[in-house]
Amino acid sequence: MPLITAGVVVLDCAEPEKLAAFYKGLLQAEETDASPDMVEVRAADGLRLAFRRDANATPPSWPRPENSLQAHLDFLTEDLDAAERRVVDLGGRPLEAKDGPGPFEERSCSDPAGHTFTLRRARQTGPKQG
User: Which domains are seen in the chain, by residue range?
Assistant: 9-121 (3.10.180.10)
User: Over the stretch 6-47, which tens digit does the pLDDT of each residue have?
Assistant: 678 889 899 999 999 999 999 999 999 999 999 999 999 999
pLDDT band (50, 70, 90) for residue 98: low
What H or E segment, with its residue span, contains residue 86? helix 80-89
Distance of alpha carbon 104 from alpha carbon 121, whole angstroms: 7
In Å, the largest CA–CA distance within the chain is 58
SS3 115: coil
User: Over the stretch 51-95, which tens digit does the pLDDT of each residue have?
Assistant: 989 988 887 766 666 666 566 687 888 888 999 999 999 999 998
CB neighbourhood size of 15 (10 A) = 15
**pLDDT at 126 exceeding the cut of 80:** no
- The side-by-side arrangement of strands in the sheet containing 73-77 is 73-77, 116-121, 106-110, 93-94
Distance of alpha carbon 109 from alpha carbon 68, whole angstroms: 15
**pLDDT at 100 exceeding the cut of 60:** no
Distance of alpha carbon 120 from alpha carbon 43, whole angstroms: 17
